[in-house]
Structure 1
Amino acid sequence: MDEVVLFNPGDSIGNFHDYHEAVQTAQIYQERHDNSGHVLVVKNEHGEPSFDIFLAEQQLTNSTEPSTTKRYTVSKKL
């Protein structure tokens, strides 16, 4: 079963059309920012499929869902 999470798209570290490029960038980001916590590569299914990178701590709950929040499916957790 897929894990669905909520994020504000404006908090994205990066947006990629290639999954492997997104994972590589997330790994580099995590290496350079030791205290960043978990980095998530998520699949954006709104429109053309793409992959975004977010910090796990930026995840929103259903109760704090503003109108700018979008649902994403977690592809990889680093």
Structure 2
Amino acid sequence: MKAVTFIARNESGFQESLGPSPAAGKFVVQLKFSGICHMDYEVLEGNCDITGFPLVPGHKYLGFVCDVWFGVRELSLGEWVVNPNFK
């Protein structure tokens, strides 16, 4: 899949992403909407020491659960979720 990626300070673009790796207790959300906020701009400009580049921005999203791995009991396939994974 392709994802908008902050490649370096003040540099972004589309990059191929392998997606998540299966792990117990994890699930996958297929995004329908994702918002960009002021914090994302601060990260792109290098004003926040949250993590290194490259990174995929966006922490405000809406989507549905499209894959569930062993140990997930709170969510089911097709269930809509928003960050931070509230039902």
TM-score, shorter chain, exceeding 0.5: no
TM-score normalised according to structure 2 size: 0.25
TM-score scaled by structure 1?
0.26
Larger fraction in helix: 1
Structure with higher strand content: 2
